[in-house]
């Protein structure tokens, strides 16, 4: 059995202290996994693999197993450079700890003497880690670990009864990797005992339980006029005095309240007929039922489950549009923009109909068997011959290109011809689309066998093809005979619905749920199911496939969506996921009346918008978005009337079938000119600063946050674009299947604008996911963010990613709007002295000049000055990076700043100043000077009549900043004067700031404040974790005060002290003083 929670009912029933308030009935249970069916089933590499979907060295292995064991979980790694390292597995499971709870597992590690400890960590639901450490590793020897859970510790705290467990992870630690060695870890026979809440088992109608979600799924859907009949039992026949049923409609309204079920002693079932009869007036969609059983002591059993009320009489087409909506597309293709596109679509589809030869041994070559077929039948004859199951199962890459050269044209054949037939009614096109669909559905498999051999049931192109095949079926349904419909329906089940369900629901592959493979694969399975839903009574209601796939898709969205306007995986992969997921959301809504659309999803374009600097879009990780990527966001334009998104969308070429189907170009358009110039994407850990919204304005992208997927080990990195040029890039994107530099350079910290320790190119590990396991929280974070149109600042902390080498890595980014940036880093060792290597990348090192502490980079339209102020003693080196075979060929590189002697701590202070002309920067360089005091470092920038001074506290727990004309207990202070008058002031995490002999700001709580001053107006943004009183120096009484856009009718101003006292709330406060 792949995965099971085994109920040990002979031990009786129990309650647990941690949930005593719920009064639930608990039953003994255990989590057990022996991998004997060869499935990884819910396990994942840990720390997270760079691409969780394509992790080829993580699998169930037949080699080196225990006697009598067919499979063991195995992970193999080869690290291309010497470094500390840890590797292992993680798995979520639900269980509560009891007095007798224990853990048993078998493991083996092959480290060639480089391993020094093995660790098992149990993660509790409240976010704590409980660890058991084996202090040494015996290589190539299977070891058994059998211990009570009370032996696991969080510091001095034991894992006590009543704790709810969420996950387990195991790690093997390596002192220093050997680049020539493959290391391995094996795991088998995992057993953890405890207890879990008892659950009802619904036997009428038939039901299943999605083990990884502990979710009950009814196999029956209901139509208007049908009544709900339920029969249920509880495993072990726990004695209950009553069982009741409550029903909620899709709007959350209670329709049935605690209707009782009767107990049948002979059948040992609780049952009731006609609990509720659905009417035509009831809302279609996802209802929720809840069964509650109570025993003689008042303790409960609770089980919630979905009840679907649907309409299976919906005619085809239905998944994207109905027959009554086709006129819209007929008129749309006549519009000037779409006429040219439509003509090219017809040319392309005709070429695919007449010349595609997908079943030949080599794509595009007419084999002898095909040339004997009339030209008009080439494509259909070749489609019938396709058999991808014959591919090599040992190595993927030799046949992968051929596989895609079959799957991708097949996708176009189905969708393009279906759309043309839907709009034009051309019978030849419709007949071809129908015949092609029958042929493709009839294939033995859609999955490359290399994946199947590794017990992966599908591959993401299966989902892509499924989405397109579903659309084709929906359009050509009237043209098919019953026999052809059955062929297609069975093909959908065999090739897409069932394989995807098994992989992503039964086995819960990629349980972290942030990979685009989920969006694409699951959307394909769902689309196929929705297309054939209700068409064949023999298939029933396609459960548990529909609910299971929907549950996985929802988990994916919840795990990946940054609710402040971004998507975790990167813009390119966001677009890829959206290209199949968003149309599937439309199909779900139209067929099942269930809408996954949320306001957060509709504004998930904001990260794209803030990085948009045409013709480029800044992004990080394995993502290289272009304006054309917006075609995959086109669906957003049809779901609302967001004029800012429409402005963004209209910047794209709109030459994709998704644009034609879902794009909505007409309507109000609003450029983003009035949006804030700084944006913090809170769950992503991304901060964008802009100086404006034109292509010439500055865009600065900074990242310090969780790991999602397809990201690089690049926390703390940034990019800078100005005057239409990318002045500070990263290593960028490379081919992750076949470029050896990809794992050695492109994804490593070395390829990014961050810091290495002791020259280690892989100094950082991947961070933990944000929405996976609460206690797995080793990740970077944003500690502080200020965003205004006159000052911006962000502070990231990322020492946790440096494998114990550092106790502090704080990166401070200051944007002196609208001109330049100051980067101040504080690094502290956790023990040994280190070399710290500060990196700054350039697109072409031939355009970089280093003069003492001044680094110049010159492009055609813009230049950059990087002024190195700290360390006092610094080694500056210009280094090369792998050559990019672009047109023209470029020679990327980076500047590395290093402390010449190892130390237990170091600070870096660098000014980044973009300009249109290099000559102006050369003049400016001499006007940027270093400041240094007892416990502060700083920089002074003099330009014409303006002077900027920035102070940074070196050690925040020591002496305050005390400079010539400034004193503060804050960690950062910024002063700008114009013609000798104060025009800008900022202070971070302070209670007071004194400047020029006057206390300018003070508070009863710590605050971060930024202000801009003119003769008539002072504007402040003030942030605090607690509410309190803020005192602001004002030479005269304000005539008007706005606090968070509300006019203060009365306020406290002390004219003798020239002090204004305001009460501010916790969080962000906007203050405007008018004089």
What secondary structure, in 3-state letters, does 766-821 show? Answer: CCCCCCCCCCCCCCCEEEEEEECCCCEEEEEECHHHHCCCEEEEEEEEEEECCCEE
CA distance linking residue 138 with residue 110, whole number of Å: 8
> 212 is written with which tokens?
């990884």
Query: Domain containing 651: what range?
Result: 563-659+666-675
> 174 is written with which tokens?
């390596």
CATH number, residue 886: 2.70.98.70
On whether both 206 and 168 belong to a single domain, the answer is: no
Domain boundary (309, 326, 361) is at 309
On whether both 710 and 695 belong to a single domain, the answer is: yes
The whole-number pLDDT of residue 368 equals 40
Q: Check if the beta carbon of residue 964 is closer than 8 Å to that of residue 982.
A: no
Q: Check if the beta carbon of residue 102 is closer than 8 Å to that of residue 149.
A: yes
Question: Helix, strand, or coil here: 113?
Answer: coil
The whole-number pLDDT of residue 377 equals 57
On whether both 1074 and 955 belong to a single domain, the answer is: yes
On whether both 694 and 793 belong to a single domain, the answer is: yes
Q: Give the DSSP letter of residue 284.
A: P
> 440 is written with which tokens?
């493709």
- Give the largest CA-CA distance in the chain: 102
Q: Note whether residue 980 is domain-resident.
A: yes
On whether both 131 and 208 belong to a single domain, the answer is: no
Q: Give the DSSP letter of residue 182.
A: -
On whether both 627 and 645 belong to a single domain, the answer is: yes
Q: Note whether residue 558 is domain-resident.
A: no
Q: Note whether residue 154 is domain-resident.
A: yes
CATH number, residue 227: 2.60.40.1220
Q: Note whether residue 822 is domain-resident.
A: yes
Q: Note whether residue 389 is domain-resident.
A: no
Place of tokens 């579903």: 470
Q: Give the DSSP letter of residue 743.
A: I
Question: Helix, strand, or coil here: 741?
Answer: helix
Domain tally, the chain: 5
**Are β-strands 718-722 and 725-728 bridged in parallel, bridged antiparallel, or unpaired?**
antiparallel
Asked whether the whole model's pTM tops 0.75, one would answer yes
CA distance linking residue 974 with residue 816, whole number of Å: 9
Q: Note whether residue 516 is domain-resident.
A: no
On whether both 600 and 624 belong to a single domain, the answer is: yes
Residues near 569 by beta carbon (within 8 Å), at least 6 away in sequence: 514, 515, 516, 560, 577, 621, 623, 708, 709, 710, 711
Residues near 471 by beta carbon (within 8 Å), at least 6 away in sequence: 319, 320, 414, 415, 418, 419, 527, 531, 583
Residues near 40 by beta carbon (within 8 Å), at least 6 away in sequence: 58, 59, 60, 73, 455, 507, 509
CA distance linking residue 662 with residue 636, whole number of Å: 8
Q: Check if the beta carbon of residue 940 is closer than 8 Å to that of residue 931.
A: yes
Cα 1053 from chain centre: 49
On whether both 99 and 45 belong to a single domain, the answer is: yes
Sheet arrangement for strand 254-260: 207-210, 215-218, 300-309, 285-294, 242-248, 254-260
On whether both 186 and 208 belong to a single domain, the answer is: no
On whether both 708 and 838 belong to a single domain, the answer is: yes
Q: Check if the beta carbon of residue 487 is closer than 8 Å to that of residue 438.
A: yes
The torsion of the CA quartet 425, 431, 435, 438, rounded to 10 degrees, works out to 50
The whole-number pLDDT of residue 236 equals 81
Peptide bond before residue 47 is cis, with ω within 30 degrees of 0: yes
Beta strands (DSSP E) in 57-114 are 58-61, 72-77, 85-96, 102-110
Give the number of other CB atoms < 10 A from CB of residue 371: 11
On whether both 605 and 696 belong to a single domain, the answer is: no
Q: Note whether residue 868 is domain-resident.
A: yes
Question: Helix, strand, or coil here: 381?
Answer: helix
Residues near 193 by beta carbon (within 8 Å), at least 6 away in sequence: 8, 28, 29, 30, 98, 100, 101, 102, 103
Domain boundary (899, 918, 937) is at 918
CA distance linking residue 407 with residue 396, whole number of Å: 15
Separation of first and last alpha carbons in the chain: 76
Q: Note whether residue 408 is domain-resident.
A: no
Please list the helix, strand and coil fractions of the chain in percent, rounded to the nearest 5, in that order. Answer: 25, 35, 40
CATH number, residue 1060: 2.60.40
On whether both 1020 and 1045 belong to a single domain, the answer is: yes
Domain boundary (268, 293, 309) is at 309
Q: How confident is the chain (1075 residues) per 10-residue block, as mean pLDDT? A: 38 40 86 96 97 95 92 97 98 98 98 97 98 97 98 96 98 98 98 97 98 97 98 91 98 98 95 97 98 96 98 96 97 96 94 75 40 56 87 92 93 97 97 96 97 96 99 99 98 99 98 98 99 97 98 98 97 98 98 98 98 96 95 96 97 97 96 98 98 98 97 97 97 86 96 98 98 98 98 98 98 98 98 98 95 95 97 97 80 96 98 92 94 96 96 93 96 97 97 97 98 97 97 96 94 95 96 97
């Amino acid at each position: 059995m792949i995965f099971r929670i085994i109920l040990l009912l002979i031990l009786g029933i129990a309650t647990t202290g941690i949930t005593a308030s719920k009064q639930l009935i608990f039953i003994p249970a255990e989590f057990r996994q022996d991998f004997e069916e060869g499935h990884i089933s819910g396990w994942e590499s840990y720390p997270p693999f760079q691409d969780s979907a394509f992790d080829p060295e993580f699998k169930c292995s037949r080699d080196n197993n225990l006697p009598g064991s067919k499979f063991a979980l195995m992970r193999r790694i080869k690290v291309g450079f010497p470094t500390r390292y840890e590797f292992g597995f993680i798995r979520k499971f639900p269980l509560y700890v009891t007095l007798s709870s224990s853990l048993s597992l078998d493991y083996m590690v092959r480290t060639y003497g480089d391993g020094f400890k093995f660790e098992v960590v149990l993660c509790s639901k409240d976010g704590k880690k409980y660890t058991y450490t084996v202090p040494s590793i015996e290589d190539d020897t299977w070891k058994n670990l059998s211990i009570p859970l009370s032996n696991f510790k969080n510091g001095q705290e034991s894992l006590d009864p009543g704790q709810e467990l969420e996950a387990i992870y195991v790690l093997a630690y390596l002192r220093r990797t050997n680049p020539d060695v493959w290391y391995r870890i094996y795991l088998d026979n995992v057993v953890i005992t405890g207890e879990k809440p008892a659950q009802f088992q619904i036997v009428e109608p038939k039901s299943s339980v999605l083990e990884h979600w502990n979710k009950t799924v009814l196999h029956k859907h209901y139509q208007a006029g049908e009544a709900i009949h339920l029969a249920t039992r509880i495993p072990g026949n726990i004695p209950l005095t009553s069982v009741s049923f409550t029903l909620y409609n899709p709007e959350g309204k209670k329709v049935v309240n605690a209707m009782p079920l009767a107990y049948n002693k002979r059948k040992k079932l609780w049952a009731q007929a006609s609990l509720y009869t659905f009417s035509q007036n009831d809302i279609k969609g996802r209802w929720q039922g809840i069964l509650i059983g109570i025993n003689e002591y008042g303790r409960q059993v609770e089980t919630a489950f979905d009840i679907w009320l649907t309409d299976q009489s919906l005619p085809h087409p239905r998944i994207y549009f109905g027959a009554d909506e086709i006129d819209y597309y007929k008129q749309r293709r006549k519009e000037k923009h779409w006429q040219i596109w439509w003509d090219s679509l017809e040319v392309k589809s005709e070429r695919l109909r007449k010349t595609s030869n997908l079943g030949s041994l080599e794509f595009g070559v007419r084999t002898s068997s095909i040339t004997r077929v009339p030209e008009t039948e080439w494509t259909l004859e070749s489609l019938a011959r396709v058999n991808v199951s014959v591919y090599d199962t040992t190595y993927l890459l030799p046949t992968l290109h051929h596989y895609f050269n079959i799957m991708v044209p097949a996708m176009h054949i189905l969708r393009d011809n279906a759309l043309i037939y839907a709009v034009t009614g051309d019978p030849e096109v419709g007949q071809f689309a129908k015949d092609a669909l029958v042929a493709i559905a009839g294939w033995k498999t859609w999955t490359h066998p290399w994946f199947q051999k590794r017990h992966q049931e599908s591959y993401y192109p299966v989902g892509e093809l499924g989405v397109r095949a579903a659309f084709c079926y929906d359009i050509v349904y009237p043209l098919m005979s019953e026999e052809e419909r059955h062929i297609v329906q069975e093909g959908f089940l065999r090739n897409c619905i069932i394989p995807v369900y098994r992989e992503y629901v039964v086995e819960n592959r990629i349980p972290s749920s942030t990979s685009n493979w989920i969006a694409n694969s699951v959307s394909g399975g769902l689309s196929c199911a929705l297309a054939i839903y209700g068409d064949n009574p023999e298939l029933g209601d396609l459960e548990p496939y529909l609910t299971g796939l929907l549950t996985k898709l929802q988990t994916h969205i919840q795990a990946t969506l940054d609710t402040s306007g971004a998507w975790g995986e990167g813009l390119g992969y966001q677009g890829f996921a959206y290209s199949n997921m968003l149309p599937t959301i439309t199909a779900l809504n139209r067929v099942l009346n269930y809408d996954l659309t949320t306001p957060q999803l509709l504004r998930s374009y904001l990260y794209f918008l803030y990085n948009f600097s045409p013709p480029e879009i800044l992004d990080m990780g394995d993502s290289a978005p272009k304006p054309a990527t917006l075609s995959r966001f086109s669906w957003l334009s049809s779901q609302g009337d967001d004029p800012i998104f429409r402005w963004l969308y209209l910047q794209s070429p709109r030459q994709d079938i998704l644009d034609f189907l879902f794009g909505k170009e007409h309507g109000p358009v609003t450029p983003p000119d009035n949006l804030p110039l700084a944006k913090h994407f809170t769950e992503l850990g991304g901060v964008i600063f802009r100086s404006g919204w034109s292509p010439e304005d500055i865009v600065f992208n900074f990242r310090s946050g969780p790991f999602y997927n397809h990201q690089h080990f690049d926390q703390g990195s940034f990019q800078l674009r100005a005057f239409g040029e990318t002045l500070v890039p990263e290593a960028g994107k490379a081919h992750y299947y076949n470029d050896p530099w990809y794992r050695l350079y492109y994804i490593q910290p070395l390829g990014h604008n961050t810091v290495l320790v002791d020259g280690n190119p892989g100094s950082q590990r991947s961070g933990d996911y944000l929405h996976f396991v609460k206690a797995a929280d080793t990740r970077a974070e944003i500690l502080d963010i200020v965003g205004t149109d006159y000052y911006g600042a962000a502070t990231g902390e990322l020492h946790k990613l440096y494998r114990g080498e550092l106790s502090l890595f704080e990166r401070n980014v200051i944007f002196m709007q609208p001109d330049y940036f100051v980067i101040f880093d504080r690094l502290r060792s956790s023990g040994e002295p280190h070399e710290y290597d500060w990196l700054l990348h350039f697109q072409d090192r031939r355009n970089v000049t280093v003069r003492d502490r001044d680094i110049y980079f010159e492009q055609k339209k813009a230049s950059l000055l990087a002024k190195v102020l700290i360390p006092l003693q610094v080694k500056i080196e210009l280094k090369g990076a792998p050559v990019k075979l672009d047109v023209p060929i470029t020679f990327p590189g980076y500047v590395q700043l290093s402390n010449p002697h190892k130390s237990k701590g170091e600070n870096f202070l660098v000014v980044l100043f973009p300009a249109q002309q290099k000559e102006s920067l050369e003049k400016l360089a001499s006007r940027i000077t270093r400041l240094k005091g007892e416990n502060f470092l700083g920089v002074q920038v003099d330009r014409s009549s303006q002077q900027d001074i920035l102070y940074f506290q070196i050690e925040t727990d020591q002496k305050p900043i005390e400079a010539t004309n400034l004193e503060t207990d804050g960690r950062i202070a910024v002063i700008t004067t114009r013609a000798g008058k104060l025009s800008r002031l900022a202070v971070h995490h302070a209670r007071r700031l004194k400047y020029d002999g006057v206390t300018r700001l003070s508070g009863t709580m710590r605050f971060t404040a930024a202000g801009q001053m003119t003769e008539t107006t002072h504007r402040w943004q003030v942030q605090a974790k607690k509410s309190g009183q803020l005192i602001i120096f004002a030479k005269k009484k304000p005539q008007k005060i706005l606090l968070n856009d509300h006019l203060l009718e009365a306020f406290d101003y002390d004219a003798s002290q020239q002090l204004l006292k305001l009460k501010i709330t916790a969080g962000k406060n906007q203050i405007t003083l008018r004089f």
